[in-house]
Amino acid sequence: MSEASIGPVPLMGKVSPASIEFFAIQLSPTADGRFFVGIEATICEVEGELSQMELGHHRVASLDDALAAIRQAVSPVH
């Protein structure tokens, strides 16, 4: 990514991949021509209880950089 990321949180190691219900991605243009990318996961670690976990938020220069930030946040570590 061409712009420094702000606050990325590695997903794996924090939560079991099996407990992830879905991801939410926020993508917004900024006044300086860049993009804001916010990435969250909704997880269910206890049956019937959903909770939200922020995986990171980034300011990036391009859509390709936004996709790279999303890919990094949602990919399991092997």
User: What's the pTM?
Assistant: 0.72
- Number of structural domains in the chain: 1
Q: Which residue has the tokens 């061409």?
A: 2
Q: Retrieve residue 15's tokens.
A: 């939560």
Q: Domain residues for 24?
A: 5-74
Which of the two residues, 9 and 26, has the higher pLDDT score? 26
Tens-digit pLDDT profile for residues 30-64? 999 999 999 999 999 888 889 999 988 999 999 99
